Structures are given as structure tokens and as C-alpha cells.
A and B are shown apart, each in its own frame.
Chain A
Amino acid sequence: MAAPTVKVALGWSGLGLGVRRAALRLPGLVQVRWSRYGPEYQDPQTDKEYYRKPLAQLTEEETYERELRKTQVIKAAPATKTCSVFEDPVISKFTNMMMKGGNKILARSLMTQTLEAVKRKQFEKYHAASAEEQATIERNPYTIFHQALKNCEPVIGLVPILKGGHFYQVPVPLADRRRRFLAMKWMITECREKKPRRMLMPEKLSQELLEAFYNRGPVIKRKHDMHKMAEANRALAHYRWW
């Protein structure tokens, strides 16, 4: 797991218990989103294969690592992190983003219904297609989901920078996690806002995912719009100082 971003706010710089001392420490800023776990807490290892390896086969580093973990404090694994073969971190993250008011059951059921809808639509296409096209049609909902989100990720983003009393939209390279976040956020907002009244979320989401998979549709358009804006504002790129 990458080092989490330090969420900071301007104000009183009192440091409470368990504040993570991360690399980025801007003076005069204090963290607002922080974890109760201190920096000494290690992430839990949920991979079954790690524990199934017989002790005789471990290399020196691995034995050292194991001994070290015995002395370290480990965080509790969240309920959604399983050692299931079918678990997908991207899908879990998307489900969390779709969740409203902590209703994980509803979000998860919507997600599973979406995957099922995607699968059924692809099967329909498969049966209607000729033999040569059948080889090209992808029927795995997980791969379609990943590819669709990858297609929606912007390469470059815009950041408002204050200069001379005005905010300018400056083109900026985005970190991987920001791109993934934006792709998912755009997908969810698109489905929530542009959905016809009586259409259910799984149907709309499956439609949008399939369109994004084939590189068409409103979310891809939004990505292209973002790219065009960045291209238009490329003169302002000098305002970026990092």
C-alpha cells in the first residue's frame, strides 16, 4: 500500500495521538483526515499463499521478515478485505464510491447486478455475432470493468492556481491514484445525473461501462474535454512550480 496522502488544513497545529508523520509536512498546516493507527502499525497480510509457504522453503529475507512481523503491531483488516480469489480492489473501491450513507449492502448489490448486466449484454452480442467476431467479444465482466475505467482515465489534469489575485486552470500531470479516482468519479456522476427517471442504476452503469470499453460514450467525451482544456491552457503550464 502506498503511503497515504497527508490531508492537511490551515490552522492550529496541535498534534494529537496517532498523527502520521508523513514525508510531506507543510509548515502551518495540520492534518484533518488521519488514522488512529500510528506509523508503527503494519498493514495486514491477507494473502493465503504467503502463509501456506512451508518454512523450509523461505529465503533468508523472508524468514527475517516473518520474524520481524512477529514483533510488530498490525492493523485490523477491514471487513471488505478478504482473501477471496474473486476479490478485486478496483471493484471494492468503486463500490465504496457508489455507497451512500454507509449502505454497503445496497452498493454491493448494485455492483453485482451491474456486472451481471454487463455479462448478459455481452453474451447476447456473442450469440448474435459470426464466428470470427466471437473471438473478439470479451465476456468477462471484470476485464470489461477494468478496461473501461482505464479508458476513462485522463492523462493530464487541470488544477486551479492562484496568481495575481486570479485563479488560473493550469495543466498538471496527475498521479495514478488521482487518475483512477477521476475515472470512477466521472463514471458514477454520469450515471447518477444523466439517468432516465425509471431506469435502474445497474442498467445505466452497464451501458456506460460497455460504451467506455469501446472508447465511446459521455465519460470518454469528458476525458477528451479535459485533455482539450489542458491543451488550450498549455501556455499557463509555467505557473506550476512542482
Chain B
Amino acid sequence: MLKGMTRLVSRVHKLDPGRFLHSGTQAPQCLVAHLDNQVPTESPRAISRTLENDPAKHGEQHVGQHYNISIQELKTVFPHGLPPRFVMQVKTFNEACLMVRKPALELLHYLKNTNFAHPAVRYVLYGEKGTGKTLSLCHIIHFCAKQDWLILHIPDAHLWVKNCRDLLQSTYNKQRFDQPLEASVWLKNFKTANERFLSQIKVQDKYVWNKRESTEKGSPLAEVVEQGIMRVRNATDAVGIVLKELKRQSSLGIFRLLVAVDGVNALWGRTTLKREDKSLIAPEELALIYNLRKMVKNDWQGGAIVLTVSQTGSLFKPRKAYLPQELLGKEGFDTLDPFIPILVSNYNPKEFEACIQYYLENSWLQHEKEEGKKELLFLSNRNPGLLERLCAYL
């Protein structure tokens, strides 16, 4: 009955029917604002928000519109992985709104039509600095979390190849190095994101940590994760075990696995980490990187691999490089080949308008002037990152 009424109302007002179905805390002001604005004239003010908060239902008609993610969901789905400026924005506005954009929609379409019997397909999001690769990845992760997939999200692989204070020689393999801090932090966030799966998945091997502790075969994965968090020395090995088990068991069909790595070009680049004798360490000598490389190969079924290549945070790559070939290098490109590249570009005029509208609605942009909009357009060249930084102080 509600649907019928809403369809009638929408036909009267010639509006999108999906608009009225959700009633969040934002809805009353939004609805009123949009009804007031849209009944007289449709075109002058771009529509910046949509009430459709489920990524699965996002379509072409939602391009350029912001959808809301509740703060509780944000804490569970994204304990890590959001860009720092976005986190600041969420804190300032008291709401998390993500813009629906074409690259993300394209990826969503592919993910909805994945055949889980086939090996995992690799998708690489690439683009210039500030165009929105990380936030598109977050959109995909939100979709997969809503669809109850297991999310394996590495927020920034570059952090694992630089500025590591304590490098230990790996207990498992003498040639490799452990990174206890990074591994334990990641395990904590992984646990927050995927609590419900950790008790369901059972380990298929016995793992001996040291003389007194071991994990028996058939115990839940949560134990391995706990062990990694408690004993920071074994954290890297715990991460390796988690990755191995998930890869093995995703083909069985109990869960669907999404491997999301931001800055995957770090896996095949150079590191700035040195041994005690000041000789450089290659990325494959780091246990975390070694295990992650195995994860990113497409020799497993039952999920998808979504990657981002970024120059920000990368080591020894020129500033203007953004293509996968340039950033991944020969080795990385050959390993990832074949993959589906998805270009994330600057905003188109409609998205730009919507972004400005969103800032104006939140009173973030305090100077509302037509000339000002043209100036922002010129200064930012419709680059989302630049626009956000420009609007921050205006």
C-alpha cells in the first residue's frame, strides 16, 4: 500500500519513486527541500542526495547523487580503509555520504553478475590523483558487506613497505621478515569487519605457534585471529594463515570472498626498509607482502578481487604516473594480467554541480555565489580531491 501511494505521489510530482521508500533521520528536511525545489523547476538546482541507501539498488539514475551510510554501519564495515580527509568530513558533518559514480556502478554490475564457479576476476581501479579511486573501492566494499560477503580489505599496501619501526626475522621462514605492528593492527580491524564469519569458518590444518600454544584442526578462525592479536610476535604468521585458509575455503561456497587492496602497486615496487646491515629489502622478503601476492593471484574461486593502483604513497614512482603499466611495473603487470581496468576520472559537470550542492546544503561552502562556482570549477578542474580541499577553507 505504501508503494502504491508513493508511486501515485511520485507520478503527481513527476519524481523518482525510489525517493520516498526510505525514511532516515535525514529524510524530512531532504524531502521538504527537494519537493520545494523541484515542483516549480527541475533543472536549476542539481539533486545531490538520494534516499536509496542500499548499494545493490544503485543504478544509472543515481549517478552524481550522495547516499547515506549510517555511523554504526561505518564503524563495522570500515574500521579502516576510508581516506583520512573523508573521515574528517564524516566527523564534521555527523553523516557519511558517498557519491554514486559511474566506475563504481560499472564494477557493481560486474560483481552482481559474477560466476562464482569461475576463478576470481581481478578489477583494477586506476586514475589520476584525487579522482576518487579509494572512495569507489569503499562503495564496492559497502555493497559486498551488505550482500554478506567476507571482506578482506587492505587499506593501504604502501604502509606495509615503508616506515616500519620493528622488523623481526620471521619465525616461519628465516629468509623473510615479520611486521608485528602492522599485522596486529590489520587483524584487529579485520576482526571488527568480519565478526560473524570468524566463528563459522574452521581451520583445516594444525598450527603450532610455540612450545605451549597451538591451534587444532577444526577450530574456528577466530582463534587464529585472537592469537595474532594477543601475541604480537605471531601476528604476521596469523595473517598468513588467515589468508591461506580463506583462499582454500572460498571455493567451497560457504561464503563469498572479496579481496580489496588499495595501492596494490606497493606489492611489486621497492621498499624503503633496510636490514641491520643497511641493505635494502625486496618486497617479497616481507612475509605480509609475500602472502598478499598469493591472495591476488586468480587461482581460487568464489569471489572477486578489486584493486586500486595509486601514486600517492608509492615509492620511487613519478608524480604524474597513473596508468597501471607505469605504476605496477613489468613484474606486477605480468602477475596481474589479465585484469579488467576501470578508469576513475574527474567529475562530469552534473557530478560537480551535485558535489557543490551537497556542500551548500551542509553549509560547508559558506559563500554561495555563481561566480564562485565558476572559479571553483576552474581551479579544481572538477577534480574531486582538489575541490574538497578548496571548499574546506571557503
Contacts and interface: CB of A to CB of B under 8 A. Distances in A.
Interface of A: 84-86, 111-113, 115-116, 119-120, 123-124, 127, 139-142
Given A113-B393, A139-B363, 12 more contacts: A85-B371, A85-B375, A112-B392, A115-B392, A116-B393, A119-B366, A119-B393, A120-B88, A123-B92, A127-B94, A141-B366, A141-B393
A120 B367 CA distance: 16
Contacts of A85: 367, 369, 371-372, 375
B93 interface: yes
Given A123-B92, A123-B93, A127-B94, A116 B366 contact: no
A34 to B, nearest CB: 35
B394 interface: yes
Contacts of B367: 85-86, 140, 142
Given A123-B92, A124-B92, A139-B363, A116 B375 contact: no
Nearest to B378: A84
B392 A116 contact: yes
29 contacts: A84-B375, A85-B367, A85-B369, A85-B371, A85-B372, A85-B375, A86-B367, A86-B372, A86-B375, A86-B394, A112-B392, A112-B393, A113-B393, A115-B392, A116-B392, A116-B393, A119-B364, A119-B393, A123-B92, A123-B93, A124-B92, A127-B94, A139-B366, A140-B366, A140-B367, A141-B366, A141-B393, A142-B366, A142-B367
Interface residues of B, number: 15
Contacts of A127: 94
A146 to B, nearest CB: 13
Contacts of A86: 367, 372, 375, 394
Contacts of A84: 375
A119 B392 contact: yes
Nearest to A138: B366
Interface of B: 88, 92-94, 363-364, 366-367, 369, 371-372, 375, 392-394
B368 to A, nearest CB: 11
B286 to A, nearest CB: 32
Nearest to B93: A123
Nearest to A87: B375
A123 B362 CA distance: 10
Contacts of A140: 366-367
Contact of A115 (B88, B93, B393): B393
Contacts of B394: 86
B150 to A, nearest CB: 35
A233 B16 CA distance: 73
Contacts of B363: 139
B91 to A, nearest CB: 8
A199 to B, nearest CB: 18
A84 B378 CA distance: 11
Contacts of B88: 120
Contacts of B392: 112, 115-116, 119
B159 to A, nearest CB: 23
A120 B375 contact: no
A120 B92 contact: yes
Nearest to B392: A116
A113 B85 CA distance: 13
A84 B390 CA distance: 13
Contacts of B92: 120, 123-124
A14 to B, nearest CB: 47
In the A-B complex, the 10 residue pairs with the closest CB atoms: A115-B393, A140-B366, A112-B393, A116-B392, A85-B371, A85-B372, A116-B393, A123-B92, A127-B94, A120-B92
Nearest to A142: B366
